[in-house]
A and B are shown apart, each in its own frame.
Chain A
Amino acid sequence: GENVEQHPSTLSVQEGDSAVIKCTYSDSASNYFPWYKQELGKGPQLIIDIRSNVGEKKDQRIAVTLNKTAKHFSLHITETQPEDSAVYFCADPFDSNYQLIWGAGTKLIIKP
């Protein structure tokens, strides 16, 4: 069945450095790849997404890259700040109803 693997499970970076989180999916037909951020005590919130017809999308300090051949997509956060500390989830829809399979999450810790 469909599967999404997310790595690493925990990532600790120095404030100002970059962070990269990677997800690998199994369904070649997948065409929409979102990233959600969950802050402590809150629900997940979409921060960026990409469709399969592009290889990269940027929004200020965050970017998502997609490699369809290798079936993986990555979240890049540059110039990390304390407010970037959170759990990040990737997801992959496995049907036309946008039913999502979620990655296990990455806890990002920004060290001052």
Chain B
Amino acid sequence: DSGVTQTPKHLITATGQRVTLRCSPRSGDLSVYWYQQSLDQGLQFLIQYYNGEERAKGNILERFSAQQFPDLHSELNLSSLELGDSALYFCASRGGVGTGELFFGEGSRLTVL
């Protein structure tokens, strides 16, 4: 158990819809990262937050947005969903300065029909 919790584990929805994925980082971790992993693909970095502020942006579509709340949990919002958005979405958290290890949740599997 990594200590990172993601909900929901599975989500099936239709094209054009909007969903919200939730992540609770490990206790005390200030950084939260979101990744997308399509079938048999690698990890695509989407966005990072640190203590409530956006720190870095990767290949995140304009239809996607995220935020980190004062209690450090984070949400990834995916809107106007397309078939190609079907993927595993992972959240990871990291500890303090000088520690490189990322702790990943078990992911949210999104299926867009």
Contact = CB atoms under 8 A, between A and B. Distances in A.
B100 A49 contact: yes
Interface string A72-112: 00000000000000000100010101111011110000000
B43 interface: yes
A46 to B, nearest CB: 5
Interface string B81-113: 000000000101010000111101111000000
Contacts of B4: 43
B101 A43 contact: no
A41 B106 contact: yes
Contact of A43 (B2, B50, B94): B2
B102 A103 contact: no
Nearest to B9: A41
Contacts of A49: 100-101
Interface string A46-68: 10010000000000000000000
B45 A99 contact: yes
A43 B42 contact: no
A93 B50 CA distance: 17
B56 A42 contact: no
Contacts of A44: 43, 90, 102, 104
Contacts of A46: 101-102
B74 interface: no
B79 to A, nearest CB: 24
A45 interface: yes
Contacts of B100: 32, 34, 49, 93, 98
A105 B2 contact: no
Interface of B: 2, 4, 42-43, 45, 48, 50, 55-56, 90, 92, 94, 99-102, 104-107
Interface of A: 32, 34, 36, 41-46, 49, 89, 93, 95, 97-100, 102-105
6 contacts: A42-B107, A43-B92, A45-B104, A46-B102, A97-B48, A99-B48
